[in-house]
Amino acid sequence: MAKLIVYLIQAFICLTVISSTSRLLSKREEDFLEQFGYLSPKKDGEERSNEELRQGLLSFQKYFYLEETGNMTDETSALMAKPRCGSPDKEINKLSRYLSTGYKWTGTSLTYNYLNYSSDLTENETRQTIENALKIWSDVTPLEFTEVSEDGDIKILFQGGDHGDDYPFDGPFGVLAHAFYPTGSVLAGDAHFDEDEDFTINGEIGIDLFQVAAHEFGHSLGLDHSTNETALMYPYYTGYIADFELSQDDIDGIQSIYGMFS
């Protein structure tokens, strides 16, 4: 009897190993595809088939112009591992790349305030960087931004890990920040930055706050991600760029929502 029990236990372990190794993706990779919109959310206890995982992976590969194998390749894995924005690449029920119902502010005079400041920079450095990041959008549209002491349209937060919005940050070099579209929710327009990152300015070693903030404010204004690697709204962090200018792709996107500068 004892030998039978041992045999059954060994058989169970063997089947578990076979089952786990036959899975197309790791849990981390599956969670990644769900987080960024390539797999629909699943219910607790539900398990996706390999075909569902393959389709999600194919969708990711197609979105970023990777070789469409439906299997995890070195190129696919390397892109998944790069620092990036936490907002999804693929939104459900989007009407166009740039604008979905409710994804814009009704006016052009917007306010912003700080819930706190980055511990990596001085308060003045943070404020000047944020002002510059907003200015790139107001330079090409009728939008105007004014800093207020509280209750701004766009609230700015620096905090790591779980920070109260159901989208916890994951530590250094993963998700750098995320922002919320102007949809009418209590978080509409808000931009959150992962304080576990080492935010820097002016090309110093670290994560360039201007580049990250300018991208996130694109979401705060209603822009979706772009697959154009030269665009600010490309979801992956591309590093510090001296004398930064918006690409035509970004300009076309923001002006399709708010019109041209007048």
Cite the active site residues: 216
Q: How many CA atoms lie within 13 A of 21 on its CB side?
A: 6
Among candidate residues 201, 193, 210, 214, the one with its CA nearest the CA of residue 115: 193
Q: How many CA atoms lie within 13 A of 24 on its CB side?
A: 20
Task: Name the packing angle between helices 123-138 and 209-221 (round to 10°).
Answer: 50
Q: What are phi and psi of 177, to 5 degrees?
A: -170, 170
The strand order across the sheet containing 191-193 reads 84-85, 175-179, 191-193, 154-158, 109-114, 144-147
CA angle centred on 179, ends 161 and 223, rounded to 5°: 155
Give the 3-state secondary structure of 68-126.
Answer: CCCCCCHHHHHHHCCCEECCCCCCCCCCCCCCCCCCCCCCCEEEEEECCCCCCCCHHHH
